[in-house]
Chain A
Amino acid sequence: METIPSIRVENLTRQFGGLTAIKDVSFTVNRGEVVGFLGPNGAGKSTTMRILSGIMPATSGSAWVSGVAVAQNPYLVKQRVGYMPENNPLPDDMRVIEYLRFRAQLKGVSSRMLRDTVQEVMETCDLARTARRKIIGTLSKGFRQRVGIADALLGNPEVIIMDEPTIGLDPHQIQGIRKLIDNLRGRLTVVLSSHILPEIERSCDRVIIINRGRIVTSGTSDSLRQEFLPGNRFELQVAGTERSVTEALAAKGFKVQILQSETREDTILNLTLCAEGNGELGPQLIAALNGAPNCTLRSLAPRVPNLEEIFLEATKRSWEEIIDSSKTKPVAIAKS
């Protein structure tokens, strides 16, 4: 059992008429992992998630949820997946506890277990004391989102799929949801989608970046950093000119590339540069700039690229690939 991944997707394709929403998507998610699905709007995140939860059939390809093929046994898959759709639709005129009871019954929780199960998920999502008997239509967005997550947790699923759980929430609520996801870590496999990048970076073990219906890349945010934005980046503030800095560093044998330069006041420069080399580059750079004429180092800090930059780089690269492939085609025809 240990070797069966929670989710396995192979060459999944879904077309809506002439439009291909996702094409040849393949990935696996292991048991207990928290995976973030990242992509711009219309990239195919929701489509993939809907196929995985058995609501929508795929045009071709196959998907398994804990070893069960989604297309062949959607009934069994639905028992194992807790799915929270985009925008989290809820009936406005029910009370929280009534709604959760109703959902638990539908998910096959026996009437003997009903009370305890509902109580348990309400406690996990922090609903038990505050919003137990409130009417859903009167709840704030954060609470509605929690009700949606509580609903997804009902019936002991192995996999939880959440489509944009933090959309439209304020920072406090986002933090609450993040804590909630942290609580689930290890117990359940969680797949969530978002285009709020810091969110994914903080709560997910692994990131899958998807663009234009294809998977661009996947991995931990560290490995993605290595792949898409290699080299060490530093932010420094110097009193002097751009040229004096590059000259001073070149004299000591550093290969640097200035990515960004911004003049503050008359002589003070804010620079972002990318340096190549091994080991602790920071102290070496400080030493190199210390002895340099015409420039005084005021501050230097290493800069770790955040997921946003990785994401922009990765999606840009995938765009370029698409454009390149469309450019090369006519050339090939012309040659032949």
Chain B
Amino acid sequence: MRNFFILLKHELRMLLISPPTYIAAVLFLGLMGFLYWAILRGMINAPEESLPIVQFLRIFWIPVFFVVPLLTMRSIAGERSTGTLDTLMTTPTSRLAVILSKFAGAYTFYMLLWLATLSFPLIAATFFPSSAVNCNMLEPASIIGGFTFLALSGILFISIGIFASSITRSQLVAGMLSFTTLFVVIIGGQQLGNIAESGGDLSSWVSELVNYLQIFQHLDDFSHGIIDTRPFFYYTSIGMLLLGLSTLVIEAKA
């Protein structure tokens, strides 16, 4: 446990001193700021059903596809290819602490990036107070719900990235692998849902299962303030499973 905190401190420090961190942050915030602005503009022209923050969170998958692979692909694959994973293994540190510290480091940064996007509605509300009230820009239920969703789904997404990084030596392969897996998990779930709806005659347990994998459905529920325990279970259990598997992988492939 002590080693976990030492490693986490090291991870965060390395994130802070490496330039790619800042590049990723600038790109992420620039893109998201632009998208938020586009949403607000759209709302001026035509009235929309949902709140701007809900619409904004609905496009969470765009940054996830590039930020998560970029954040995690280096974590273990990079250490393995430079050989520093070996030196880490020679210290009395458990494998689990290594994986968990990598996960916690990337997760902290991922969440910090998302929290920084909260500044968009805040900025908009400071400069245009009247429209902020009209559009319910700072609706607390949606924000809390939406960010709970981000925090939960982040566990799954980051652990997918860590797992992809743990099974290979090449950062490129790790990045591609986590990108495609994320794509399948996020878009594939939605497609399954579409098929299930169009088919209509699926037995009840299959549609239950399909519903369980609907990440967009979870987002809608959370951002309307409905906090369900099933997604909690889905994201944390699969996340833990992947982190456990990564631990086994680095134990076997040391």
Contacts and interface: CB of A to CB of B under 8 A. Distances in A.
Contacts of A54: 90
B17 A93 contact: yes
A164 interface: no
A27 interface: no
Contacts of A76: 92
Contacts of A56: 254
Contacts of B38: none
Interface in B120-173: none
B180 interface: no
Contacts of B94: 75
B10 A108 contact: no
B45 interface: no
B83 A55 contact: no
B98 to A, nearest CB: 10
Interface residues of A, number: 25
Contact of B84 (A55, A79, A90): A90
Interface string A83-97: 101010111011000
Given A55-B254, A56-B254, A93-B18, A106 B91 contact: yes
Contact of B90 (A83, A94, A105): A83
A89 B84 contact: yes
Contacts, number: 53
Contacts of A94: 14
Contacts of A151: 87
Which of B6, B17, B18, B88 has most chain A Cβ within 10 Å?
B6
Contact of A102 (B10, B17, B82): B10
B93 interface: yes
Contacts of A108: 92
Interface residues of B, number: 20
A94 B94 CA distance: 23
A225 interface: no
Given A56-B254, A102-B6, A102-B10, A107 B92 contact: yes
A78 to B, nearest CB: 4
A89 B78 CA distance: 12
Contacts of B92: 75-76, 78-79, 106-108
Interface string A60-82: 00000000000000011011011
Contact of A106 (B7, B14, B18, B86): B7
Given A89-B84, A106-B3, A106-B7, A55 B17 contact: no
A78 B88 CA distance: 11
Interface string A289-324: 000000000000000000000000000000000000
A13 interface: no
B113 to A, nearest CB: 21
Contacts of A93: 14, 17-18
Contacts of B88: 106
A76 B7 CA distance: 20
Interface in B38-78: none
A138 to B, nearest CB: 15
Contacts of B6: 102, 105-106
B26 interface: no
A93 to B, nearest CB: 6
B202 interface: no
Contacts of B14: 91, 93-94
B10 A89 contact: no
A103 interface: yes
A234 to B, nearest CB: 48
Contacts of B254: 55-56
Which of B17, B83, B89, B93 has most chain A Cβ within 10 Å?
B89
A244 B98 CA distance: 74
Contacts of A85: 83, 86-87, 90
A53 interface: yes
B21 to A, nearest CB: 12
Interface in A98-120: 102-103, 105-108
B251 to A, nearest CB: 9
Nearest to B83: A89
Interface in A239-287: none
Contact of B83 (A78, A82, A87, A107): A87
Interface string B232-254: 00000000000000000000001
Contacts of A81: 90
17 contacts: A53-B90, A55-B89, A56-B254, A75-B92, A78-B90, A78-B92, A79-B92, A81-B90, A83-B90, A85-B90, A89-B82, A93-B17, A93-B18, A103-B91, A105-B6, A106-B7, A106-B92
Interface of A: 53-56, 75-76, 78-79, 81-83, 85, 87, 89-91, 93-94, 102-103, 105-108, 151
Given A79-B92, A103-B91, 19 more contacts: A53-B90, A55-B90, A76-B92, A78-B92, A81-B90, A82-B90, A83-B90, A85-B87, A85-B90, A87-B83, A89-B84, A89-B87, A90-B87, A91-B14, A91-B82, A105-B6, A106-B6, A106-B7, A107-B91
Going nearest first, the 4 A-B pairs with the smallest beta carbon separation are A89-B83, A106-B91, A83-B90, A78-B92
